Structure formats: C-alpha cells, structure tokens
Structure 1
Amino acid sequence: MAKNTVRQDEYQMSRNKIEITLRLLNYLAPYRIKTFLVILLMLFVMVCGILNPYLLKIAIDTHVKESNVRGLMYIGTLLLVLNLLSMIASKVRLIMMSFITNNILVNIRHQLYTHIQRLSFSFFDNRPVGKILARVIGDVNALQNMFNQSIQTLIPELLSLICVSLMMFTLNIKLALASIIILPFLTVSMFLIETQSRKRWEIYRKKRSNLNAYTHEDFSGIKVVQAFGKEYDTLLCFRNMVSALMDAFTKAVRLNDFFWPLVELSWGIGIVVVFYTGYSLVISGEISVGTLIAFSMYIGMFWRPIMNLSNFYNTLITNFSAADRIFDILDISPDIISSENAPKMGKIKGVVEFKNVTFSYDKSSPVLNNISFKVNSGETIALVGATGSGKTTIVSLLSRFYDPTSGEILIDGKNIKNVDIESLRSQMGIMLQDTFLFSTTIKENIRYGKLDATDEEVIAAAKAVNAHDFIIKMEKGYDTEVNERGSRLSLGQRQLISFARALLANPRVLILDEATSNIDTYTEKLVEKGIEKLLSGRTAFVIAHRLSTIRDCDKIMVVDGGKIKEYGTHNELIEKKEIYHNLYMAQYRFLNEGA
C-alpha cells in the first residue's frame, strides 16, 4: 500500500453504479419487513393521489353534467376520506423510514469501525488518522439521504410513474405519446452530466479528507506548532486546503445544478406539447373537456416522479464517491489474521524462540536479517543497539503486529502464526515509550489492563509500582479525569499508570519498549521495586538506551544492522570489549563528564 500524506489525494477505486447500489441495498435486508410496510404505505398514498384526478373526471363528466348533487357529495366525501387516510399513512411512513435509515447508518458505522480495528498496522502506517475519521464519520453520514430516497423515492416513484402512465394511455394514447416524446432527450443529457459529476464529487471528498487529516495532525501537534511559532504558517496551509475544498465543491455543485433546469425545461416542453395536442383533440371531438382536465392533472403527476427520480439519481451521483470510500476500507483484508480454525494458545509458559527470522517493511531492504535466539521461561532479555537497528521490530513481530518475511517465531514451541491471535495477545503486555492514556479517569485507565478488576485490585496494582501516593494527592484521587492522552499528568506519572495497568493485566510475556525513558532519576528509584515485581515470574523483553537500567537482566542482546551481534550477561559482554562494552563505556564517560 502506497504511503499517503495529509496533503496528498487518496487513491479511490471507482466501482460500477449497479454494484454500489446493490451493496448498499443489502443493508436493507434486516429491515425487509419494515421496508415492505413502508412501501405498502407509499403505494396507498400513491393510489390515493392517482384516484383524485380520476374521481374529479367522473364528477365533471357525469355528476356536474347531470346536476347530480348527491353523486357530487358522495365523491367529495370519498375524496376527503382518501386524503385524510393518505395523510396518516404518510406520517407513519416517515417515522418508520427514519427508524430504518438511522439504524442502517449505525450498522454501517459499526461494521466499518469493527473492520478498521481488525486491520493490520500497515494500514495505519500508510494513512493519516484524520483520513480514517473522515470515512467513519463524514462519508457514512453522506449516505443518509441516499438510503432515505432509495426507499422513499426509487420504488414508489417508479411504481407511481408506471401507474400514471397506464392511466394516461388508458385515457388517450395520442396524449400519452405526446407526454413522453421529450424523455429520450432528458435521459441522454442526464447521462452526460453524470459522467463528469461523479468525478467532481470524488475530488471534493478527497479534498475534504485532506483537510480533515491536516486539522487532526495540526491540533495533535499544537505544542510543537506554538513552540516554534508556526501558527501563521499552519494557518496559510489551512486556508489553501480550505480554498481547494471550496473550489472542488463549487465545481461539483455547479455541474449538479444543471439537473434541475434540464428536468424543468423538459417538463415545460412536455406540457406545451400535451396541451397543443389536447386542444386539437377537443376541437375534433375525440376527447371530452373532463378528459383533458384529468389529463392535465396526470401530466403533472407524470413529471413529478420523473423530477423526484432525477433528484434521487442526483443524490446517488453525489454520494457514490462516499460509498466508494467506505467500500475501499471494507474491501481491505487484514494482513494479520488468525488462520481458519486456529487453536487457542493456551496458558503461556514463556519460552520464546526466533528461528531464522527475516523481516522487511517494504519488501526491499530487510530490517531483520536471519536472526535466531531462544529465551527461557521467566528470563528478562534486554535489547540494545542504535536507533533503527531492529529492536522494536523484534518485539513487534513477537506480538504478531507483523508476520516475518521468512522464518518462524515460536512461543512454548507453537508457531504464533498458527494460533488464535486474541488468545496470544491477551497474555502479552506491551509498554511503550509514548504511553497512551484514554480520556477517562485514572482508575479506568489502570482497569483497562483487566476490565473486570475490582477497585481494590486497581489500587493494589498502583501501590505495587509506587503510583498510589501521587494519585491520592490529586483532586479526585483515582476518579481524576486525565484528559486526552493524559495531558494533565507528567510523562513520569503516565508511565507509572501504564506500569500499574500492565501489572493488573498479569501478562505471561512482557515487553518494555523504552518504558522508563520518561521517568526522572528520583521517580526511577521509586519504581524500581515496582518494575522488579512486574518482571517477576514473566518472560520479559526490555528495550532501553540507558544501559544502567538493564545491567541486572538475565541476558543482553546487541542488535546491529538487523542482526544479533552479541548475546550474554552484562559482565560477559563487558569482558568481550566489543560493541556493548563500547556503548556502555561511552555512556559512562558521558555521565561522568556531565557530573
């Protein structure tokens, strides 16, 4: 998948109109009974509307002509009852239609959200978060009118058009033919407009997605923006993107606006042709005045569904690009999935083995090159090396965020590609340098490690990592809201909370990726015992640049250039006087010089 940036238009597959329509209509399946009832109500309203001109024709040609007051009263009463029932049916129809449409949108959004959560890291690596949000929120909302009109317009208006046409041909074939003579011109013109209109709406949605992604990125990094005084530069960029969005929208709407004059012009020409023909037929005595009056009403009823169908078609064209963008995501298959009928992992003991593992992110230059090692249960392994050497990639493969290009990764002798992913990851704990906290209370952030944990268990976990003391000093203690990403807390406090969360999860395999890098020396002393308890009885992988924090690890792996160059205890590697020795001495001299 090609890398996409906030200023770059996304690739968008353009699907066949029939394919999109059928896929969207599939979402109506769970509501087929309610949809059928809505259609029945619409048919009833439509029949009432069609009967009005016909009953009026009877009243004029029969009862008015014969001065039959009783007959006129009967027809008047019938018209009143029919129209009253029609109003009630319309109201019920709107309520049911609203229920169906809103539930369909909820289902699509749930499906899209669930699917995105299952997608592999490569999907998120190559697409800004703001563009994903644009699809989950904006593009799904854009489908509301489409679903409303697919039920309210497409089926009933087609049926209405057919019924009205039959009534017109029944009344007089010549007038009916005169009514439809302009339709071929309208159809060809609309098709030509649609070809360009869909392309313009695709461009508009891409520009909107870019703006959404840029805004999200800018606000996420607002501290950097203000720290470097770049508010004006980002404002200029924002204005340019808004301008591009407005330009795309204007071009799309301008072309769409041709629909209405085109349909109204065709309607007007059609009425002129009908009245000219009707006048000739009345003069020649072929039709009565009542027939012409009834037909004049039917001609309006004939063009109204055409107008509504044109509106529906316009809506489809406007929102096909939104449907395309949604289906683009839904059609992406996760790279990392559980194999069919994959067995559960079972309780992990913690024996980890890499066998000839090679991995590349872009399938060109390998990040890891044929590495092999074995870690026994309960051992703590430190990974050291320069930035970009492959340390984080090793633990990412162990968590099965990616699959190796070649080779095998075994836990307790089982290839992790062949077991259920959830049963594997549920027994692993990962703590990153950039600790993520959710916009909720401290208690709930810790409880995320074990959702059914009691308050006592949450507090015990916090005490174990020495986080309890600073938590109870906060305004609401464990019920204090931490704001988005934990912005109310210091970096060290966030790390302590993440330690408590990991301890509560009780993982069998623990990964600490620069987890102590944001903790100051004083806080580090406080948390050392907590970390010791966290590591006790677990297989652990620790990535750290501060080599003083990993001296007591059971084994230290030196990763360089995608390969394991050294492997042993701290004392063994120091005695070798090679890569690890040089790194340790350089860091030791730096600290002494600083002192």
Structure 2
Amino acid sequence: MIKFIREPFGLKPILKKEDIGNKGNKNQQRASNMSGTLKRLWKFMRDERYKVLLVIIIVVITSLLGIIGPFLVGRAIDNYLVPKEFDGFVTLLLVLLGVYVLHSISTLAQSFIMVGASQRTVFNMRYRLFNHMQYLPIDFYNKRQQGELMSRMTNDIETISQTLNSSFIQFTTSVITLIGTISVMLYLSPLLTILTLTIIPLLFVLVKYITNRTRPLYRIRQRSTGELNAYIEEVISGQEIVKAFSQEDYVIDQFEKRTRNLRDVTFWANLYSGMIPKIMNMLNNLSFTIVAGIGGILALTTDTVTVGIIVVFAEYARQFTRPLADLANQFNQVLSAIAGAERVFHIIDTETEKDDGTITDRDLNGHIEFKNVVFSYDKDQKRPTINDVSFDIKPGESIALIGSTGAGKTTIVQLLNRFYEVDKGEILIDGENIENYKRHVLKENSAFVIQDPFIFNASIKENVRFGKLDATDEEIIEACKNANAHDFIMELEYGYDTVIDGENHALSVGERQLISIARAFIRNPNILLLDEATSSIDTITELKIQEALESLMKGRTSIIIAHRLNTVRAVDRLIVLEHGEIIESGSHKELLDQKGVYYKMVNG
C-alpha cells in the first residue's frame, strides 16, 4: 500500500518494503508473477503465433538494416571521403539508399502485421472474459462493484492492447538492436566499446531505482482506477437517492477523495517513469563525449581508430542508449499491462457455476419438493439463512412465501433458480434433484418476474423477445396483450419499436413491470417465480398487473414472494417463514383459524 504525506510543494509517497520487494499480500505476489502471466498471454496468442514469429523475423531484418546504415556511412568516410577516392562511391550511396528504403518498408510491415495480431488477441481475451462472466455465480457479483468489473473489461484490456500494439515491437527491436550494435562496435574497436559500456552500471542502478518504485505504483493505479469507476457507476445509478436525501456534497467529497488518490498515484508513477528519458539523454551525452573525446585522441595518436570509426561510434552510441531507454520505458508499460492481465486472469480463474447434470432436455411438470434444505450465504454464520426447510408443491399449485425481512423468502427462490447451491438437503423437481438437470433445462421451463423490473437499452419488442429469442413479432404482440401492455405501447410514438432502458422516465414503473410480465408470458413457463410485482405500483396499474399475473399463473406452478398480504389470499397455500424456518403452512382461511403468526400479521 502506498501512503502520502504533505510536503511544502506537494505529496511524497511512502513505499513500504513489501511494495518494493514484492513480499506483500497475495495480490502483490500475483502481480510479480511476470513469467506466468506472459505465458498465459502467449497461450491467448496461439492463433497468431506464426504472425508474431513473422514479426520477429521482420524486426530482426529491420534492426540489422538500422545497424548496417551507420556502418556504411563509416566506410564511406574512410574509403572515399578521407582519401578522396570516389570510384564506387555512387554505388555505395545507392546501397545505403536501398538499406534505408528497406528499413522503412519493413518497419511499416511489422507494425501492420502486429497490430492485426494484437487486436485479434485482445478480441479473444475480451470475449473469453465476458463469456466466462456469464457463467459465474450470482454470489460473485454480489461481492463486487459493477464499475470495478467494468474496469477489467475496458481499462485493463485496453492497457494490454496498447502494450501488444507497440511495446512488443519496440521491446524486441531494442533487444536485437542492442545485441547487434554491441557486436559491430566490438568488431570496429574493442577499446572504444569497453569505454562506451562503462555507463551500463550507472544505467542499471538508476533504472532499478525507478522500476522498484513504478512497479507498485502501476499496480495500485490499476486498482484505484477500478475503484473509481465503480464509485462513479454507483453514484450515477443512484442519482435519485442522492438527490432525494440532498447528499450531493457528500458524494462529491467521496469522489474527490478517490480521484485524489488516483491522481497522486498516477502523478508519482508518471514522474518516476518520466525520469527514464532524461536519464537516458544524460547518459547518451556522456557516451558521446567519451567516444568523441577518447576516440579523437586515439585517431590522432594511433592507427587503431579512424575518423570513420569515430563517426560510426558516435551514431552507435546513440543507437546503444536508445534501445536501453526503450527497454526501460517499455518495461514500465509491460508492468502496467501485466497488472491488468492478472486482474483479468483472476476473473477467468474464478470457478463457474456447477453444471454437471445429465438431463439435457425435458418439459417439466412443475412438481417441486424441498427436503430438509439448509443454506447459509456465509458458511461461518451461526444461524443458517434457511434451516431445515421442507415443503411440497404440486404441479399447477400456487403458494406464497410470507414473512418479515430476512425470513428467507428470496433465498428459497434463489435456491430454486440455482443461483446458490444448498449446504444440506435437496431440492427436487418432478422427482429429480435439480443438480441432475442442466441449468438451461431449469431456466427454459421457468420464468422470474422481479419486484424491480430490469429493462435493457433496446426497443420494447427486443425487451420482450429476450424471454424467447426466436419469438415472432406476432407472438410478442400476443404476449403484450396478455400482459395488459399492448394498449399503452400503441400510444407511444414508435409503438413496439420505442427504445427504452432502465432509466427511461417516459415509462412508469408499472409500465416497465407490464413489459417484464410480457417477457415471462412469451417464455410460456411451467414454473413461475414472482417477487411481489405490485409492491410499488399505483392502484389502477396494480389492477392491470394483478390481472396479468393471474392469467400468467393459470395452470403453472407458481411461487410468490409476498410483501403485501392482500395480494396473496387467492393462492392455494401460504408458507410463513421466520428466521429461515417454516412456522406455519396452509390456506388463507386455515391460517386465520389457527390464530397464529399469520393471524397476527393480518390483523396488525
């Protein structure tokens, strides 16, 4: 963790030893696993490996051409200009021109091929991440902020994309150029080469000092960006609550704290990484001074060094320090990409929902049995959320789950949907444990109408069709008529083609609820799960919704989570829950006659 203290001219970061030495917590250890992450990235590039190898070959050719150019210039000086012998000089110039033309063409080719390969790799990675997230359990999302997950899908993968687009070529070019340049320098003058290499120890110390500080800073910057995105998404989604409670100043203050932290981390990360070009420029000037000064003395006093060699070495001195600078700069970019990649791989490594059932296709009758079901969201909690719950629902029967908040009503429905797996006991549908069914079989035979309807940013037609993707327009209209939604839809300017979303205030809550009921209608489910769909609706709309729900429930096994008792009197059976246990069960009349908990709830 990085903390900041105030100084007269700004902030100074305090880096703990574990941040610099990578001996911190588990996440920090993962962030230092560079080789493992790079191997996984290479696996993602399996379809692009031949293109990458081709790029490497072209990079080798480009780098060699870049090295040959100055060498030919030196030969021109020593063989033609100094002795003033111009026989063959034009040929050399044409060769030199050809070298630089080929250098430009190969540079363009390697960029073209690598950009295509990197974008296809990033596409595969983004697709793999999104695909994997669709099969993660609901509990995964409940424990994480939406904005933080979005940051992994966007910011982290974009960082990887930038690194593959440019850093890979620059990194490879720098390595090859460095090796080639040193080789030619040794061939021309071992003494000048040794003198030029004297800057390496100083370079190593300075770069190590910087990278030891940029590594944790880049890691924390990635995490802080995700946290900030999550907070922004949360505040934007909750604007009605913010305004209703006049908490604008509070959320602004919280945003300022988060964005200030990101600002400070980014400031120091960029400041440290920005030192590298300055250091390289200083070392470049130092190297040039060594070559020009000592090389000039050797040229005047000995025959081992010529003017051409000095010119070549002056150019190679720049070529020598430039790849070192590029390596240092790209190392920072690679560190940032690795931090992002590990955050992506962390999600990909998360275990998906268990779906090892053997029943892959069946029309369910809707006979539901809970047998001694026990479940806890937190396995360490003393009292289970659901404790030894048993009940039986016959096909076509309707029941209502009632009880106070936290009694376990929603949990029962979530267990039936297999959002979570039971700790003990079993849930049967048509005599088969639900674990024996493939998840899609359960979902295709059931529909879930929630209290707060979720509407996608799409047309009304497409929102209804989400319940059955191959539904025709005629089926959609019929479903909306059954849901009492057709009339208000036809009053809209664009009718069924009207684009809506969850924040569209052109539609009331009740109208959005009717659309969600139409979505359930078109699915034609055998099992219907209702989370009191009329709890926050006006009276007139409530009657329409209630009529639509009664039509939807006919002939279907229905479980209703009841928030208002006047809406459940017509169901076949009521189940009263308290602290995750069934304390009463029976029809409305039977429970009133018992004069127990339900009787007290009805009579206040």
TM-score (normalised: structure 2): 0.90
Is residue 283–residue 321 contact of structure 2 (8 Å, CA) maintained in 1? no
The reply on whether 1:542 has 2:560 as its aligned counterpart is: yes
What whole-Å deviation, never above 9, does each CA across 1:170-206 have from its counterpart, x for those lacking one? 1122222222222133223322322221112222233
Task: Label 1:551 to 1:421 Cα distance change in 2 as closer, same or farther (>3 A).
Answer: same
The reply on whether 1:417 has 2:465 as its aligned counterpart is: no
2:330 paired residue number: 312
2:277 to 260, 268, 272: 260
1:217 to 231, 234, 249: 234
Task: Label 1:11 to 1:207 Cα distance change in 2 as closer, same or farther (>3 A).
Answer: farther
What whole-Å deviation, never above 9, does each CA across 1:524-552 have from its counterpart, x for those lacking one? 33344422331122211011122222222
Give the superposition deviation at 1:68: 4.1
1:350 to 351, 355, 366: 366
Give the superposition deviation at 1:437: 0.6
2:507 paired residue number: 489
Q: Within 5 Å, which residues of 2 pair with 1:117-132? A: 117-132=134-149
Whichever residue aligns with residue 390 of structure 1, its letter is: G
Give the superposition deviation at 1:13: 4.3
The reply on whether 1:153 has 2:170 as its aligned counterpart is: yes
Matches of 2:27 and 2:229, distance apart in 1 = 17
TM-score (normalised: structure 1): 0.92
2:392 paired residue number: 374
Matches of 1:130 and 1:168, distance apart in 2 = 53
- Bigger drift between 18-27 and 403-412 goes to 18-27
Is residue 197–residue 318 contact of structure 1 (8 Å, CA) maintained in 2? no
1:593 paired residue number: none
Secondary structure (helix, strand or coil) at the match of 1:361 reads coil
Secondary structure (helix, strand or coil) at the match of 1:567 reads strand
Is residue 13–residue 324 contact of structure 1 (8 Å, CA) maintained in 2? no
Is residue 345–residue 424 contact of structure 1 (8 Å, CA) maintained in 2? no
Matches of 1:11 and 1:506, distance apart in 2 = 48
Is residue 401–residue 561 contact of structure 2 (8 Å, CA) maintained in 1? yes
Give the superposition deviation at 1:120: 1.2
Is residue 495–residue 518 contact of structure 1 (8 Å, CA) maintained in 2? no
Secondary structure (helix, strand or coil) at the match of 2:560 reads strand
What whole-Å deviation, never above 9, does each CA across 1:134-167 have from its counterpart, x for those lacking one? 2211121122332124431222221221111111
Is residue 439–residue 486 contact of structure 1 (8 Å, CA) maintained in 2? no
Whichever residue aligns with residue 261 of structure 1, its letter is: K
2:121 to 92, 97, 104: 104
2:580 to 532, 554, 562: 562
1:189 paired residue number: 206
1:166 paired residue number: 183
Runs of 4+ with deviation above 6 angstroms: none
**Aligned-residue CA RMSD in angstroms?**
2.1
- Bigger drift between 123-132 and 142-151 goes to 142-151
Give the superposition deviation at 1:458: 0.3
1:361 to 363, 377, 380: 377
Matches of 1:482 and 1:57, distance apart in 2 = 70
Is residue 453–residue 516 contact of structure 2 (8 Å, CA) maintained in 1? yes
Secondary structure (helix, strand or coil) at the match of 1:143 reads helix
Matches of 2:480 and 2:266, distance apart in 1 = 53
The reply on whether 1:138 has 2:155 as its aligned counterpart is: yes
2:544 paired residue number: 526
Whichever residue aligns with residue 154 of structure 1, its letter is: F
- Bigger drift between 74-83 and 387-396 goes to 74-83
Report percent identity of matched pairs.
36
1:58 paired residue number: 75
Give the superposition deviation at 1:396: 0.2
Unaligned regions of 5+ residues in structure 2, if any? 1-24
What whole-Å deviation, never above 9, does each CA across 1:464-487 have from its counterpart, x for those lacking one? 121111111111111112234443
Matches of 1:371 and 1:536, distance apart in 2 = 26
1:279 paired residue number: 296
What whole-Å deviation, never above 9, does each CA across 1:434-483 have from its counterpart, x for those lacking one? 11011111111111111111110000001112111111111111111223
1:472 to 474, 478, 490: 490
Task: Label 1:161 to 1:302 Cα distance change in 2 as closer, same or farther (>3 A).
Answer: same
1:198 paired residue number: 215
1:28 to 42, 45, 67: 45
Is residue 12–residue 328 contact of structure 1 (8 Å, CA) maintained in 2? no
Matches of 1:290 and 1:164, distance apart in 2 = 16
**Count of aligned pairs between the two proteins:** 575
Secondary structure (helix, strand or coil) at the match of 1:378 reads coil
Unaligned regions of 5+ residues in structure 1, if any? 1-9, 587-595
Matches of 1:304 and 1:244, distance apart in 2 = 33
Secondary structure (helix, strand or coil) at the match of 1:409 reads strand
Is residue 400–residue 573 contact of structure 2 (8 Å, CA) maintained in 1? yes
Whichever residue aligns with residue 203 of structure 2, its letter is: L
Matches of 1:89 and 1:274, distance apart in 2 = 30
